[in-house]
Amino acid sequence: MRILITGGAGFLGSHLCERLLREGNQVICLDNLFTGRKCNIAHLLDHPEFELVRHDVTDPFKFEVDQIYNLACPASPTHYQHNPIKTIKTSVLGTLHCLGLAKRTNARVFQASTSEVYGDPEIHPQTEAYKGSVNPIGIRACYDEGKRCAETLCFDYHRQHHIDIRVGRIFNTYGPRMLPDDGRVVSNFIVQALRGADLTLYGDGSQTRSFCYVDDLIEGFIRLMNHPRLTGPINLGNPAEFTILQLAQRILAKTHSPSKIIFLPLPADDPKQRCPDISLAHSELGWNPTVSLDTGLDTTIGYFRKLLLT
Ligand code: NAD
Ligand code: UDP
């Protein structure tokens, strides 16, 4: 198949490019390299079936493709709050352009949605039926509402134009190729621990997240995209839940770091607890994460150790 991946030079996108090439597909990676890096896909540039197109999804684009994975959007709060208007334009216009392209080419669209559509959730764990609790005027809204609107566009194109859509709600995912200055918690803590710097814990550390290793998530992407009829939305994440303090302590132990934990103010609207209910992904896709936090952290720590040495 000929497959377009927007945001293909980013953390998740680069793993997806690799996986789809390995399976014999042609891959067009479209990225403006805002948070993506050429080095993430440098090893693919000579592959005869791979093409990198430097382009911004807020401007229209045309390709002849069978499938579109729409991943373009900064995902770390630090990066998506850097230029919030650009973030919401990226989600809304980027998705609109993907759906328009799908309408013309008859391609199937996978939308990388997020657990952030649930906001600071009032139910736990979060099921797909939960409609969410998002502050529409807060500092996270550019991302949360952009992604919610992107889901709306997917379902309106599906109902109005019969576009084949797959909406995956991704929960916190980590692994090699996150940027060292990405700002998300796993990469921040590992890099701080390896450098002997203080671990910056926001709030009292009692807030929870559930961390999925990248390889597990990519398997979920492929299964959802190639399901014959399921539109989603469907949660994709690892239901093993940890407090952020537990994560910090685990990373300190694994890296044998002398670093200390310092407590800083909790950013506005930071969700207090987050854990996916993945019954639907399990029953419909036969999907379950297989990599434990311990194993995934070991691999990710190994990656950053090597990166920081070079
Ligand atoms: P990332 O920042 O590494 O990747 C995003 C990619 O999109 C980057 O390569 C960036 O350069 C590109 N991009 C950003 N704006 C663009 C634009 N206007 N035009 C073209 N390219 C643009 O983040 P990631 O973790 O790989 O996330 C990928 C997708 O998955 C995002 O849509 C994100 O919202 C979603 N997601 C990720 C997670 C996670 O935990 N990793 C969780 C929920 C949702
Ligand atoms: N966090 C933290 N220190 C950091 C980065 C993040 O304590 O250096 C906290 C953050 O406040 C949040 C959790 O870790 O409660 C997860 O943050 P991240 O930015 O990784 O993802 P998100 O909040 O989008 O789930």
pLDDT, one tens digit per residue, over 65-87 is 999 999 999 999 999 999 999 99
Confidence check: pLDDT of 310 > 90: no
Mean pLDDT of 51-63: 98
- Cα 184 to ligand 2 centre (Å): 6
For residue 90, give the H/E element and its range.
helix 84-105
The total of other beta-carbon atoms located within 10 Å of residue 140's CB is 21
308 CB neighbour count, 10 Å cutoff: 12
Question: Which of 35, 81, 144, 202 has the most ligand 2 atoms within 8 A of CB, as the residue to mutate?
Answer: 202
| Ligand 1 pocket: which of 6, 11, 40 to mutate (most atoms within 8 A of CB) | 11
The whole-model pTM stands at 0.98
> How far are the Cα atoms of 166, 203, 242 from residue 267, in angstroms, in the given order?
32, 8, 19
Q: Which residue's alpha carbon is nearest to atom 33 within ligand 1?
A: 75
Segment 244-272 shows an average pLDDT of 98
Q: Which residue is closest in CA terms to ligand 2's atom 14? A: 185
Positive or negative CA dihedral for 307, 221, 114, 101? positive
Question: What are the residue numbers of the active site?
Answer: 143
- The CA–CA distances, whole Å, from 285 to 155, 186, 228 equal 20, 27, 11
Pocket test for ligand 2, best of 140, 204, 209, 266 (most atoms within 8 A of CB): 209
- Residue 74 Cα, ligand 1 centroid: separation in angstroms? 4
Could you give the CA distance from residue 111 to residue 71 in angstroms, rounded to a whole number? 7
Question: What are the backbone dihedrals phi and psi of residue 209, each rounded to the nearest 5 degrees, phi first?
Answer: -140, 165
If you measure from the C-alpha of residue 262 to the centroid of ligand 1, how many angstroms do you get, rounded to a whole number?
29
Burial string for 259-271 (b: 16+ CB within 10 Å, else e) reads bebeeeebeebeb
Q: What CA–CA distances, in Å, run from 87 to 49, 74, 92, 140, 211? A: 30, 7, 9, 10, 24
Residue range 29-38: mean pLDDT, rounded: 97
Q: Whose CA is nearest to atom 23 of ligand 2?
A: 270
Q: What is the mean pLDDT of residues 89-94?
A: 98
Q: What is the mean pLDDT of residues 179-197?
A: 97
Residue type, 43: H
Please answer whether residues 222 and 158 qualify as being in contact, where contact means their C-beta atoms are separated by less than 8 angstroms: no
- Cα 79 to chain center, whole Å? 13
Are 80 and 121 a contacting pair, CB within 8 Å?
no
Mean pLDDT of 151-167: 98
Distance 172 CA to ligand 2 centre (A): 10
pLDDT tier at 230 (50, 70, 90 boundaries)?
very high
Domains (range + CATH), the chain: 2-171+213-237+276-291 (3.40.50.720)
Q: Residue with the nearest Cα to atom 3 of ligand 2? A: 201
Q: At what angle do helices 214-225 and 11-22 cross, to 10 degrees?
A: 60
- For residue 25, the model assigns a pLDDT of 98
Read off the pLDDT of each residue in 122-135 and give the average, rounded to a whole number.
98
How close is the Cα of 30 to the center of ligand 1, in Å? 12
Mean pLDDT of 19-27: 98
3-state secondary structure of 36: coil
Question: How much of the chain, in percent, has pLDDT values that exceed 90?
Answer: 100
Measured from the alpha carbon of residue 29, the closest ligand is 1
Distance of CA 281 to the CA centre of its chain: 17
Residue 233: CB within 6 Å of ligand 1? no
